Amino acid sequence: MPGARAFTVEELDLLESRLKEDAQLHLIWVIAYYTGLRIGQIGQLTIQQVYEVDVIHIPRKRVGHTKQSTPRDIPVHPKLKAHIKTYLSALAARGWSNERGSRVFTYTYDQCEHRLHDIILRANLPGKCSWHSLRSNFILRMYERLGRDIVATSKAVGHASISNTAVYIGVDHDRITKAILED
């Protein structure tokens, strides 16, 4: 969702605690948090892409009506790996067949959007928030962890151009002022 702001740390904690009531929605949240994938990309993930892997491979494909994803390999954070294993084990215990080509999630894009929107409304969060807010959080986190290297961040998040990444990062006017005034 264009213009969706990043969540604060407190908001992330609050929303995650409320999402834990729904195992499927919670795993979607955790994948978005640790990978920066768009909700449409997460919905397309197959068992083969996430089951006991160290890297999630995202092939080039159309995302939504306007986006074309850049193919990339995303390392799987150990916490994400544990969440995926727990989720798939719980499904298997209930008799779910984990055929390698089947999708991980049954929720549609719209169902995910509506469920999170309801949770955000009940939490009374200000501003424009959505699943894409998690992508904003991921991009900002990568930018800081990569030493504010916009080129590396752009590559890490699968942007074709650093101008796309710059939209998420914004301008730090205080940092610019400090740099100009520095001896």
CATH of the domain at 57: 1.10.443.10
Q: What is the tens place of the pLDDT at every residue in 88-101?
A: 888 888 877 666 56
**Closest alpha carbon to 75 in 29, 20, 37:** 37
Q: Does residue 3 fall inside a structural domain? A: no
Q: Which helix (H) or strand (E) holds 84?
A: helix 78-93
Angle at 28 between CA 59 and CA 133, to 5 degrees: 90
- The answer to whether 100 touches 47, Cβ cutoff 8 Å, is yes
Q: How many structural domains is the chain composed of?
A: 1
Q: What is the tens place of the pLDDT at every residue in 44-91?
A: 999 889 988 899 998 876 655 555 667 889 999 999 999 999 998 888
Q: Give the amino acid at 36.
A: G
What range defines the domain where residue 75 resides? 9-181
